């Protein structure tokens, strides 16, 4: 940024001003030239008096671009207009610069650039941000990043997509999800961005979800956590609670990080006596291969 001109602010004695003179330029702030920035944009700010004697600030923004043109290209610049363009005046509105700045919107911020960037790249660590857990996108299932309506993959993961097998899918889940077998969550549907959802899915562990039924009334999340922890790392454990009575509805879900851990938990705890009820522990959906 270079302020081009310098003017000493001299105190003008009004008595010395010649009344006929129109040129009051000394009253104006100096001309400013903000030199070319990284995109080559140059700004020139000039102050003038307009016809009504009002002070006017004129900002001219120009982009200075150096282009190497071939000789023929240079010659083409001086061609005459033809066809429908022949009768055009210089100020025709066919061509205009967009008023909006359009950027190449990245699909998901690359690992190193995310504001909530984490060393492990695990989206679960976004929980560090207050309130982040509550902000879950229904489409790509990223927690703490954006709401559904702001999902960068809106058209890719439309909520109305039909579930279909995908050729590019690397995982072999066919329609697994938490809960009903027929429901296919958006990240698993055909057309979903699996690469984005891939690591997120693992952290959500839809395929490593275990359903526990026949729980006693006062069983809560932490109890399940304690019960399943010995088998491996649990990312999430949830017990369905009846809001009215605040009692457990008798079932819950535990999400493991690894499939093997989940399998071992199922094998060991199915039929286990817990708080005087026999637990039933199984895969959360029809057993996926």
Q: Does 181 bind other proteins (CB under 8 A)?
A: no
Helix, coil or strand: residue 142: coil
Task: Supply the DSSP string of 28-41, one letter for each residue.
Answer: SPPPEEE---TT-E
67 binds other proteins (CB under 8 A): yes
Question: Segment contacting other proteins (CB under 8 A): 5-13, 187-195, 222-230, 263-271?
Answer: 187-195
Question: How far apart, in whole angstroms, are the C-alpha atoms of residue 43 and residue 45?
Answer: 6
Return the HEC string of 177-189.
Answer: CCCCCCCCCHHHC
According to the binding rule CB under 8 A, does residue 232 interact with other proteins?
no
Whole-angstrom distance, CA of residue 257 vs CA of residue 254: 10
The token pair that represents 88 in the structure block: 């055009």
If one asks whether residue 195 binds other proteins (CB under 8 A), the answer comes out as yes
Contact 214, 224 (CB under 8 A): no
Stretch that binds other proteins, among 7-15, 105-113, 231-239, 281-289 (CB under 8 A): 105-113
In 3-state terms, what secondary structure has residue 282? Answer: strand
Among 9, 100, 182, 243, binds other proteins (CB under 8 A): 100
Is 64 one of the binding residues for other proteins (CB under 8 A)?
no
One residue of 145, 193, 200, 206 binding other proteins per CB under 8 A = 193
CB of 62 to other proteins, least distance (A): 12
Nearer to other proteins, 106 or 244 (CB): 106
Question: Least Å distance between CB 260 and other proteins?
Answer: 29
The only residue of 1, 2, 6, 104 in contact with other proteins, by rule CB under 8 A: 104
Give the interface segment with other proteins, choosing from 64-72, 173-181, 253-261, 273-281 (CB under 8 A). Answer: 64-72
Rounded to the nearest 5°, which phi and psi values hold at 76? -70, -25
156 forms part of the interface with other proteins (CB under 8 A):
yes
Q: Which residues contact 94 (CB under 8 A, 6 or more apart)?
A: 88
Do the bridges between strand 234-241 and strand 248-256 make them parallel or antiparallel, or are there none, so unpaired?
A: antiparallel
DSSP per-residue codes, 218-279: T--HHHHHHHHGGGS-EEEEEEEE-TTT--EEEEEEEEESSHHHHHHHHHHHTT-EETTEE-
Which CB, 193 or 206, lies closer to other proteins? 193
Return the range that interacts with other proteins (CB under 8 A); candidates 12-20, 44-52, 87-95, 269-277: 87-95
Which residue ranges make up the site for other proteins (CB under 8 A)? 38-39, 65, 67, 69-70, 72-73, 76-77, 79, 81-86, 88, 92-98, 100-107, 110, 112, 149, 154-162, 164, 166-168, 190-191, 193, 195
């Amino acid at each position: 940024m270079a302020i081009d001109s310098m003017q000493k602010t001299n105190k003008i004695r009004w008595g010395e001003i010649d009344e006929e003179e129109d040129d009051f330029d000394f009253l104006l702030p100096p001309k400013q030239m903000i030199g070319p920035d990284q995109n080559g944009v140059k700004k020139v700010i000039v102050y003038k008096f307009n016809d009504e004697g009002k002070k006017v600030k004129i900002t001219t923004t120009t982009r200075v671009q150096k282009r190497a043109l071939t000789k023929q290209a240079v010659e083409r610049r001086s061609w005459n207009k033809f066809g429908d363009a022949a009768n055009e005046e210089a100020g025709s509105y066919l061509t205009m610069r967009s008023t909006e700045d359009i950027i190449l919107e990245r699909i998901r911020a690359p690992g190193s650039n995310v504001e909530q960037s984490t060393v492990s790249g695990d989206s679960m660590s976004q929980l560090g941000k207050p309130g982040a857990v509550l902000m879950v996108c229904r489409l790509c299932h990223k927690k703490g990043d954006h709401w559904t309506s702001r999902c960068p993959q809106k058209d890719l993961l439309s909520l109305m997509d039909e579930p279909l097998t995908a050729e590019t899918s690397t995982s072999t889940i066919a329609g697994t999800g938490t809960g009903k077998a027929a429901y296919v969550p958006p990240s698993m549907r055909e057309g979903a961005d699996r690469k984005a959802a891939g690591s997120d899915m693992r952290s959500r562990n839809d395929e490593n979800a275990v359903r526990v039924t026949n729980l006693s009334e006062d069983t809560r999340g932490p109890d399940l956590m304690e019960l399943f922890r010995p088998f491996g790392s649990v990312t999430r454990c949830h017990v369905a609670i009846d809001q009215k009575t605040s009692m457990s509805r008798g079932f819950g879900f535990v999400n493991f990080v690894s499939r093997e851990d989940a399998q071992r938990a199922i094998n060991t705890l199915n039929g286990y006596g817990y708080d005087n009820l026999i637990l039933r522990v199984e895969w959360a959906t029809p057993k996926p291969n």
